[in-house]
Chain A
Amino acid sequence: GAGVSQSPSNKVTEKGKDVELRCDPISGHTALYWYRQSLGQGLEFLIYFQGNSAPDKSGLPSDRFSAERTGGSVSTLTIQRTQQEDSAVYLCASSSLTNTHIYGYTFGSGTRLTVV
């Protein structure tokens, strides 16, 4: 597609439930990133995928968070047993390694997760 697509755009879930957030990167982009942004806060890095390499999971806040990227394209971020502090906007970005210096990263519009 023309841009990075995220779904759903909004998600309200009950505390303790599991949620899955989806990211469709720009076609051909080999690098994919997940960030989250709590209300009034900056962007917090979560995880980074690059091609077939092992993902950089250094930003995942707990073992309730996991992500996968199938076929080098679509990625799913899963949060198990959601807590109220997980409420945030979850942003996905992708980049082409050969063009990162030219075009930077392209971000999606995010998924706003509210845990009640």
Chain B
Amino acid sequence: DAKTTQPPSMDCAEGRAANLPCNHSTISGNEYVYWYRQIHSQGPQYIIHGLKNNETNEMASLIITEDRKSSTLILPHATLRDTAVYYCIVRFIYNQGGKLIFGQGTELSVKP
């Protein structure tokens, strides 16, 4: 699975959009981009995933560049409860049951 690079930390004002970048320049055509987050003292939580099209669900939006070398997770109206470590993971499309490899992630602090 391709390697990802994320900034170690970011701040966001409550109510504003949080844009979390992820670089995956070695991604192959058969790899999905997944995002998870881990709120303090809890297990990681699945947020969203995508292959090449932009995706949106009730939690977030995922924007993937046309060359697929980077992506951005968008939390449209961040709340204090969105303070967490956010992990961007790239995984082979057919590796449905294989292990996820977590990097260091981005620690997002949402401030009032």
Contacts and interface: CB of A to CB of B under 8 A. Distances in A.
Interface of A: 4, 30-31, 33, 35, 42-43, 45, 48, 50, 56, 59, 91, 93, 95, 97-98, 100-101, 103-110
B44 interface: yes
A100 B92 CA distance: 12
Contacts of B97: 30-31, 48, 50, 95, 97, 100
Contacts of A105: 36, 44, 46, 100
29 contacts: A30-B97, A31-B97, A35-B102, A42-B102, A42-B103, A42-B104, A43-B38, A45-B101, A48-B99, A56-B98, A56-B99, A59-B99, A91-B44, A93-B43, A93-B44, A95-B97, A97-B97, A100-B97, A101-B49, A101-B96, A104-B34, A104-B49, A105-B100, A106-B46, A107-B43, A107-B45, A109-B41, A109-B42, A109-B43
